[in-house]
């Protein structure tokens, strides 16, 4: 998981950050354009939900990702 930005020039949709998530087991990749870093937690939750729909294996809780505690991020 990595957040890139802010970029010098925004995308056509106004995004200046990008969140990239790679599932180490399946090598599936998700990339989300973000207008602010405040959108990161929601994108992680969205990815967790999408992955649960796609893959049948149980996923780790959304409040941990690769052993990192996502403290202070509101996901509701």
Q: Which pLDDT does position 11 carry in this prediction?
A: 94
What digits encode the pLDDT tens for the residues 49-70?
888 777 655 554 444 555 555 5
Q: Please give the full DSSP string across 10-73, using - where no structure is assigned.
A: --TT---EEEEEE-TTT--EEEEEESSGGGHHHHHHHHHHHHHHH--SPPPPTTEETTEE-TT-
pLDDT score recorded for residue 76: 43
Phi, psi at residue 53, to the nearest 5°? Answer: -70, -35
pLDDT tens digit sequence for 13-38 = 999 999 999 988 778 888 999 999 99
**pTM for this one?**
0.65
Task: Report the C-alpha gap between 51 and 33 in whole angstroms.
Answer: 18
């Amino acid at each position: 998981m990595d957040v890139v930005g802010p970029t010098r020039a925004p995308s056509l949709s106004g995004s200046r950050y990008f969140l990239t998530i790679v599932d180490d087991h399946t090598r599936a990749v998700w990339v989300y354009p973000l207008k602010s870093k405040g959108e990161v937690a929601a994108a992680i939750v969205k990815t967790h939900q999408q992955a649960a729909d796609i893959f049948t294996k149980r996923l780790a809780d959304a409040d941990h990702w690769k052993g990192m505690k996502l403290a202070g991020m509101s996901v509701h």
